[in-house]
Amino acid sequence: MPTLPHKDEEAAVSASHGAGGAVVLLAFDGVEAIDIAGPASVFSKAEQMRPGTYWLHIASPAGGSVPTNGGLSFAGTLALRELPAAIDTLIVAGGDEPSVRSAILEQKVSEWIAEVAPRVRRVGSVCTGAFALAAAGLLDGREATTHWSACDMLQQLRPRVRVQRERIYVQDGPMWTSAGVTTGIELALALVEDDLGHAVSMDIARTLALPMLRGGEQPQLSQALEAQATASHRLRELVAWIGTHPQEDLSVEAMAGRVRMSPRNFARAFATQTGCTPARFVEQTRVAAAAQLLRQTGWTQEKIASRSGFRSVDALQRAFARQHGVTPQGYRDVGARAAR
């Protein structure tokens, strides 16, 4: 485990960087391993790029070795009582229902969270860790999310939480919640971006070989994943290729050629197996690509239209209106206001 810095040293780092201090990832018996390992990797990479920015601690109610639900264990975790008094960022991991329930009811993690939260700059959760925040009363009256399969349960248990089912992460004031498992990486990247800027976050995403840096407004179950669920092997591969090549020729004839089918048979098979026509799927993919560029760059709409596969700005604007009900500029403005 990292050496604990003096709390005055932590405060100096926070003042100089506008971020930093102690980052605590809270685990418990039966925790989902990726919920800890994913964010830990992001903050570790950020510390390597900007030394002295973050001090990472993996904690658990009693400390010591913590078994995960995947057969691995986290050794040498800090007990909650051993954590530094000054915590900048607290992230609570998730796990299966019995493990989360035990952590809340038997290990009293929500009571501890409620006690320390007023002194923490921001509090987050990955997956079903949101239930621990909700039990601490931190999400009442706020927007929040959790794994898509647990959204209804969270809403039933805590009616005052405004559960967002179609978001990969949600920020409401100092509270950050994310959806299932791997979205913890994207949540951590968003926190690093909030602290250190977009360039650092992008460098970490490249280091981790992420296919893209998604914004929190993206759906939990992506269009591509839904399309691949019942598709044949060659159409699954095509769907994946389309997602990374939106600027290519994606006419029915060109796509049919890639999978060695006639255009007529391809169009019929694609619609049957994915539940979406090829043209509709391509448009959705290109709009998603354009949305990422609108969020992540200051490029002109002409450049974004070209990079995301649209023949013109007018085509981009019409597709955006069909899918989002706003113009590309309107979408960008909403994202900028949310970031501020």
Are 171 and 313 contained in the same domain?
A: no
Domain co-membership, 180 together with 231? no
Same domain as 267, residue 186: no
Same domain, 14 and 150: yes
120 or 244, higher pLDDT: 120
Whether the per-residue pLDDT at 289 is higher than 80: the answer is: yes
For residue 336, what pLDDT is reported?
Answer: 55
Name the residue type at position 124.
Answer: G
Is 291 found in the same domain as 261? yes
Asked if the model's pLDDT at residue 7 lies above 60, the reply is: no
- Nearest alpha-carbon partner for 146 in 125, 173, 171, 175: 125
Question: Per the structure, how many domains does the chain have?
Answer: 2
Same domain, 232 and 310: yes
What is the pairing mode between strands 21-26 and 87-92?
parallel
Q: Do 191 and 293 share a domain, yes or no? A: no
Which pLDDT score is estimated for 15?
A: 35
Query: Residue 141 pLDDT more than 80?
Result: yes
State the Cα–Cα distance between residues 117 and 121, nearest whole angstrom: 8
- The reply to whether 212 falls in a domain is no
Q: What is the mean pLDDT of residues 126-131?
A: 95
* pLDDT higher at 103 or 13: 103
117 vs 193, higher pLDDT: 117
Identify whether residues 45 and 179 lie together within a single domain. yes
288 and 167 in a common domain: no
- Strand, coil or helix: 143: strand
Q: What is the mean pLDDT of the chain?
A: 86
Per-residue pLDDT reduced to its tens digit, 253-268: 999 999 999 999 999 9
pLDDT at 36 over 80: yes
pLDDT greater than 70 at residue 223 = no
Asked whether the predicted pLDDT for residue 14 surpasses 80, the reply is: no
Residue 243 predicted with pLDDT over 80: yes
Name the domain boundary from 145, 180, 207. 207
DSSP 119: G
> What residues contact 51, with CB distance under 8 A and at least 6 apart?
none
Domain span holding position 147: 7-207
List, for residues 166-222, the tens digit of each pLDDT value: 788 899 999 999 987 788 998 999 999 889 988 898 889 888 877 555 555 555 445
Looking at the fold, whether 183 and 67 belong to one and the same domain comes out as: yes
pLDDT class for 338, splitting at 50, 70, 90? low
Q: Which residues are within 8 A (CB) of 69 and not within 5 positions of it... i.e. 6 or more apart?
A: 30, 31, 32, 33, 95, 96, 99
Q: What is the pTM of this model?
A: 0.68
- Tell me what pLDDT residue 288 has: 87
Window from 121-125, 150-154, 321-325 with minimum mean pLDDT: 321-325
Domain identity same for 55 and 198 = yes
Confirm whether 218 is domain-assigned.
Answer: no
Does residue 113 sit within a domain?
yes
CATH number of the domain to which 335 belongs:
1.10.10.60
Q: Who has greater pLDDT, 136 or 240?
A: 136
pLDDT at 298: 85
- 177 in the same domain as 50: yes
Select from 303, 284, 302, 290 the least CA-distant residue to 332. Answer: 290
Question: The domain spanning residue 170 has which CATH number?
Answer: 3.40.50.880
Question: Could you tell me the pLDDT band of residue 244, with boundaries at 50, 70 and 90?
Answer: confident
- The share of the chain scoring above pLDDT 90, in percent, equals 60
- Residue 2 confidence (pLDDT): 34
In a domain, 56, yes or no: yes
The CA angle 148-151-152, to the nearest 5 degrees, is 125
